Structure 1
Amino acid sequence: MKQKIILLFFFFLLTTSIFSQNTYVFLGSYNRDKTAETIQVYQLDTLTGKLTKFTSVKNIVNPSYLTVSPNGKYVYACTDTKTPNAGSVSSFEFNTTARTLTFLNSQRSGGENPVYVSVHKNGKWLANANYTEGSVSVYPILENGRIDSIAQNFHYTDGSVNKERQTKSHVHSAVFSPQGNYLFLPDLGADKIRSYAFDENQKKPLIETQNPFTKTDLEAGPRHFTFHPNQKWGYCTEEMAGQISVYNYENGVLNKVQRIATHPDKIKEGFESSDIHISPDGKFLYATNRGKENNIAIFSIDENGLLKNIGYQSTRGKHPRIFAIDESGKFLVASNVQTNNIVVFKRDSKTGLLKKVGKQIKMQNVSCVQIKQI
């Protein structure tokens, strides 16, 4: 009996170790140096939080935002970001056996300064948000992972009340609904969350609805958006106001039920709310604050979807633009653009609080982090 227990214990350690090496961290950056490794991939050890370099890509300009296909075989990036009169989306094949990330192709972004790409859950469609020109583009994805030509492209011209930052539309993200039948577009410049119905079987999948947008508070500056795992609630960070708006969600319609600050009351200015994610168990929400704070605001989620602030965690750097939580929910990885560092935090599943683990790694102008178990 004792021998069986010992064997089972070693089998557990072996399988856990193997499992822990199948989680990958993908890093994008603002970097115009074509000799630099502007996209880097690391393995995340889900026992210790250690990051180990796996592969990288050169000759890519400003791959500022990344996303990974549902099957983990392809990576898509906003490229030529913050490049005047330019902008593209690019595809790469990720091969874990050969340890390679290989460029496949690029397409024009359909607007200047692409800042966010997302893949439909069926892996056959790509949506891209363009910030400077305020537009959205959708593309079919071919069977070999390449991006086909633009299927639809919509531009917006309306702005809002802030004369410095909202003279026109600035679409900051493109997020599919949990079922994949709607696409939501937080528009910082117009104080709107735009939306379309999405029919994956049509050549032009974006379909206008009777309610083409949800109006946010004035000077909110909606930026990033996420859905709760139960698919009933949506959460939007408001960059300019430093708030999170909470919405009840049903059949493409958002109804606001709460608005809560991402920063302490004593902070009155100099904040820029950024990214937002929910733990896989649906119990906690995390949002990054840039500017004076450079931290992660931590919230518990109650049975009605409402938020309660329970603390803050420094990101150990400046300007945390994007972060990600691994699929096991054990670790959160944050990227700090201005200090060129990536930091891993262990997440307490009971309290939701974070604790730095392992050694931070360096990457010039790191702007994005995505995590995928493959």
Structure 2
Amino acid sequence: MKPVNRCCLLGCMILLPVVLKAQTKTMNVLIGTYTNTGKSKGIYVYSFDPASGKLSYKNEVAASDPSFLALSTDRKRLYAVNELSTGGGAVSAYNYHPDDGRLVLLNTKPTYGDSPCHVIVDQKDQHVVVSNYSGGSLTIFGIQPDGSLTEKVQLIKHEGSGPDKSRQEKPHVHSACLSPDGKFLLVQDLGTDLINVYPYEASNRDTPLSTEVNTAKASPGSGPRHIAFSKNGKYVYLVQEMKGAVTVYAYNNGQLMSLQEISMLTPSFKGDVGAADIHLSPDGKYLYASNRGEANDIAMYAVNEQNGKLTHIGNQSVEGKGPRNFAISPDGKYLLVANQYTDEVIVFARDEKTGQLKGTGNRIEVGAPVCVLFDEL
């Protein structure tokens, strides 16, 4: 019998942990769409390979205009708005099976507000918060032990208008975001140019939201849409849909103070404006915001971590039209863009040192994609 080479065996024992450490985690990407175009059926689940940046079809579920998605903290449930503009909107709860991407409908509840366009789940999986764009309101639902939704527990209707009477004739609640400590809910209203800050108590099952609201103003006619918190929680970044700009606020215990406003557009741009989404890189060093209209690009900024202010470092074409929403992978290496009007999701590689984006050539066809959501397995 041939003798065992102990040096070879020892070498294998040393190398094995290194190989395991180098392995990357696979991810799922969940995609919400508009089905009223007839090009899509509902919610799609793809597998994402972080080594190659490629997306592979996994599963789908039929739904009516599931334009925005949110995962529960425990990753067992998915919540999707049904952005219906007539007859009242709705929100649906699903059991989510990450391994095969299956989504099983639990129930659907009316939001009592037209065109619900945004949904979040609080950090304790106690409530779901829905923003009703045309309804100008906010609807809160409790979550049952099985993940299904209760009837609404609160409905908050905004009042007021803005200077642009063609688009700001009334409130248009576009999104809601909880502060990192979960104590305040920040609600962006495109119609009134305000961020409304509500005290929030997740343990209060019936009335988690206090009506003692603080407000922070955005530029007149700017149209607040979405926000992102800095990694340290000291700053809030607001994307202005109608102006194509980002406002930086200092944040402290529910109070906002404006520090900076910076354009998302290149100096030579003169076309239609329609800013959409905003996200920070996982390390907090770079900020990205999407331009629709005729720009169709991602504005990129370096973040001054000492004072929260931004420096514009460039714009990256999205290689399509209508970048409604985008998402940065949990490892910070990729940025995926949902190009609503060209029916595709585009994969960009992200340089973690410079913040710049570069096309990978990877893309998938999806009808009218609106929301892109990563789930790390």
Q: For the superposition of Structure 1 and Structure 2, which TM-score range results when normalised by the shorter chain?
A: over 0.9
Distance (Å, rounded) in 2 between the aligned partners of 1:97 and 1:240: 40
Corresponding residue number in structure 2 for 1:330: 333
Q: Does the Cα contact within 8 Å between 1:20 and 1:47 map onto a contact in 2?
A: no
Q: Secondary structure at the match of 1:195?
A: strand
Q: Which moves more between the two structures, 159-168 or 264-273?
A: 264-273
Superimposed CA distance per residue, residues 275-332 of structure 1 (whole angstroms, 9 cap, x where no aligned partner) = 0000010000000000111110110001211000001111111000000111111111
Distance (Å, rounded) in 2 between the aligned partners of 1:315 and 1:4: 50
Q: Secondary structure at the match of 2:319?
A: coil
Distance (Å, rounded) in 1 between the aligned partners of 2:87 and 2:177: 25
Gaps in structure 2 of 5+ consecutive residues: 1-6
Structure 1 residues 12 and 26 mapped into 2: Cα distance closer, same or farther (>3 Å)? farther
Corresponding residue number in structure 1 for 2:61: 57
Corresponding residue number in structure 2 for 1:299: 301
Q: Does the Cα contact within 8 Å between 1:20 and 1:44 map onto a contact in 2?
A: no
The yes-or-no answer on 1:368 pairing with 2:374 is no
Distance (Å, rounded) in 2 between the aligned partners of 1:53 and 1:84: 32
Given the alignment, which residue of 161, 165, 168 partners 1:166? 168
The yes-or-no answer on 1:27 pairing with 2:31 is yes
Structure 1 residues 327 and 5 mapped into 2: Cα distance closer, same or farther (>3 Å)? farther
AA in 2 matched with 1:30: Y
Superimposed CA distance per residue, residues 251-291 of structure 1 (whole angstroms, 9 cap, x where no aligned partner) = 00111100000111222340111100000100000000001
Corresponding residue number in structure 1 for 2:87: 85
Q: Secondary structure at the match of 1:20?
A: coil
The yes-or-no answer on 1:221 pairing with 2:223 is yes
AA in 2 matched with 1:238: Q
Corresponding residue number in structure 2 for 1:285: 287
Gaps in structure 1 of 5+ consecutive residues: none
1:16 is displaced (CA, Å) by 4.5
Q: Which moves more between the two structures, 4-13 or 217-226?
A: 4-13
Please give the residue correspondences for 1:27-176 in structure 2 after superposition, counting only pairs within 5 Å.
27-32=31-36, 36-58=40-62, 60-79=63-82, 81-176=83-178
Q: Secondary structure at the match of 1:149?
A: strand
1:7 is displaced (CA, Å) by 5.3
Structure 1 residues 30 and 256 mapped into 2: Cα distance closer, same or farther (>3 Å)? same
The yes-or-no answer on 1:359 pairing with 2:362 is yes
Give me the identity figure in percent: 34
Distance (Å, rounded) in 1 between the aligned partners of 2:103 and 2:133: 27
1:33 is displaced (CA, Å) by 7.6
AA in 2 matched with 1:368: C
Distance (Å, rounded) in 2 between the aligned partners of 1:82 and 1:9: 56
Q: Does the Cα contact within 8 Å between 1:194 and 1:214 map onto a contact in 2?
A: yes
Superimposed CA distance per residue, residues 153-212 of structure 1 (whole angstroms, 9 cap, x where no aligned partner) = 011231011111111000100111111111111100001011100011112010133x52
Distance (Å, rounded) in 1 between the aligned partners of 2:172 and 2:236: 20
1:359 is displaced (CA, Å) by 2.2
1:99 is displaced (CA, Å) by 3.9
| Number of residue-to-residue matches in the alignment | 369
AA in 2 matched with 1:20: K
Distance (Å, rounded) in 2 between the aligned partners of 1:289 and 1:231: 25
Distance (Å, rounded) in 1 between the aligned partners of 2:137 and 2:248: 24
Q: Which moves more between the two structures, 41-50 or 272-281?
A: 41-50
1:357 is displaced (CA, Å) by 1.8
Rg comparison, structure with higher value: 2
1:13 is displaced (CA, Å) by 4.1
Superimposed CA distance per residue, residues 121-175 of structure 1 (whole angstroms, 9 cap, x where no aligned partner) = 1111111100001000111111211111111001123101111111100010011
AA in 1 matched with 2:158: Y
Question: Structure 1 segments of 4 or more deviating over 2 A?
Answer: 1-17, 32-37, 96-99
1:38 is displaced (CA, Å) by 1.4
Corresponding residue number in structure 2 for 1:347: 350
Structure 1 residues 5 and 66 mapped into 2: Cα distance closer, same or farther (>3 Å)? farther
Q: Does the Cα contact within 8 Å between 1:92 and 1:101 map onto a contact in 2?
A: yes
Structure 1 residues 52 and 13 mapped into 2: Cα distance closer, same or farther (>3 Å)? farther
Q: Does the Cα contact within 8 Å between 1:320 and 1:334 map onto a contact in 2?
A: yes
Distance (Å, rounded) in 2 between the aligned partners of 1:239 and 1:206: 26
Structure 1 residues 35 and 227 mapped into 2: Cα distance closer, same or farther (>3 Å)? closer
Superimposed CA distance per residue, residues 29-69 of structure 1 (whole angstroms, 9 cap, x where no aligned partner) = 000389953110111111121111111102x1100111111
Please give the residue correspondences for 1:255-266 in structure 2 after superposition, counting only pairs within 5 Å.
255-266=257-268
Distance (Å, rounded) in 2 between the aligned partners of 1:367 and 1:178: 25
